[in-house]
Amino acid sequence: MGDSSGTTSETTDAALISRWVSGDQRAATALVERHAQSVAQFVVSLGERERTEELVQDTFVRAFQAIETFRSDSLFRTWLFTIAKRLVLDHRRSERRRRDDVEVQEDHLVVSFDALDGMVGDERMQQVWRAMQGLSPMQREVFTLRVTEGLPYNEIAQMVGSSAGACRVHYHNALKTIKERVTDA
Amino acid sequence: MHECEDVRMQEALPAFRAGRLDAAEAEAVRTHLASCEVCTRELELLTTAQAVLDQATPVVDAARIAAAVIGASAKAERAPVAAPRVITLRTRRWWASRQLLAAAASILVVVSLSIPALRGTGHAPAVDGRLDSMVAAEMTGGQGGHAVAPSIDLAGGLADLSSAQLETFLKELDQVEATVRAEPATIALPLIDSPELL
């Protein structure tokens, strides 16, 4: 098992949260070190590469301020992703209001990946990257959560506010699109 | 590309790649991959997608973020929960007068209830005069006690007292010791020698 579940042989997420609530500051550091990069990756997949670290920090600050509301039957990392997504949407809404006073819907999670073309290494990776640009925001979010975290559809559904069946369809449509756009895939 | 017919194995690929399967499930996927080119290629694609996201994601400073979390938490703890309530002198006086009134009312109720009760006690054939002497004895602290002789005639009960008498009585009550004796004063009962009661 990977460490994404927070139930490795090391201290579990739940145990670290208990230690933090008891006043152990090192527990907070351990939790941040364990999950920060995954949250950052999720934020990037939502198209917020420029403000990644700021959003990741805000996510953790919000999470630790509301740690009493965290239900131990769900994954801490999944909870962090939910908070991060809410922050991204809030940021987009306020940005959009500032620009043209138009309400942003969830579908407006448009990612501008163009600037990242030069960062992705070989030809095959660039093809995958461009193929991911062509996905709808919902497809990209479901695909990212499924690939990077290996989450089951029901957990993804809770995060994106959809059904498990719909998420399954989004994932397979995303996979099909990428396969079609990548040679030898 | 053809599709894999083992849907369960194909669906397990993301969790396998992310290391979320237990040992037995992971071994089953490995066995399947050894004979399925479609799933092997799909797994390679998923691995490439992960690598793309890894490369596109800036490395965040976890130590700095942790420090911000701890700092924000400490700041929240220092913040006052609620503004302290301001008690003015006027409010304090109002409460003090209310407390005095309540205390006076309590004393009146207790005394007015206890005197008729003592009068009606079956095995204490006290007449008014004797009861008054008992009350007086209690108020003087019994034999040898400090004399606080009641100046008010309570024979008619508290209801018959005027406001001035009541005020005087309350003042005298204030001088009586708050602690009552555990044993009541002995009452000299008349000998009952009636043959029909024996």
With an 8 Å Cβ cutoff, are A175 and B63 in contact? no
Cβ–Cβ under 8 Å, residues B146 and B193: no
Is A112 touching B (CB cutoff 8 A)? no
- Among B144, B125, B148, B122, smallest CA distance to B135 is for B148
**ipTM of the complex, rounded to two decimals:** 0.81
pLDDT band at B121 (very low <50, low <70, confident <90, very high): low
**pLDDT number for residue B156:** 64
| H-type alpha helices, A101-145 | 123-133, 137-144
Q: How far is A78 from A92, CA to CA, in rounded Å? A: 21
B42-76: string of b/e by CB count within 10 Å (b at 16+)?
A: bbebbebbbbbbeebbbebebeebbbbbbebbeee
Q: Does B53 touch chain A (CB under 8 A)?
A: yes
User: What pLDDT, on a 0 to 100 scale, did the predictor assign at position A10?
Assistant: 61
Domains of chain A: 1-110 (1.10.1740.10), 111-185 (1.10.10.10)
pLDDT in tens, B17-61: 999 999 999 999 999 999 999 999 999 999 999 999 998 899 999
Contact A34, A7 (CB under 8 A): no
Task: Out of A151, A152, A185, name the one closest to residue B41 (CB).
Answer: A185
* Residue pLDDT, tens place only, A53-85: 999 999 999 999 999 888 876 789 999 999 999
| C-alpha span between B5 and B36 (Å, rounded) | 10
**Each residue of B59-100: pLDDT tens digit?**
999 999 999 999 998 877 766 555 445 455 555 566 666 677
For chain B, what are the domain ranges? 1-57, 89-177
Q: What is the Cα A6 distance to its own chain's centre?
A: 16
Cα separation of A169 and A175, whole Å?
10
Residue A175 sits at the chain B interface (C-beta within 8 Å): yes
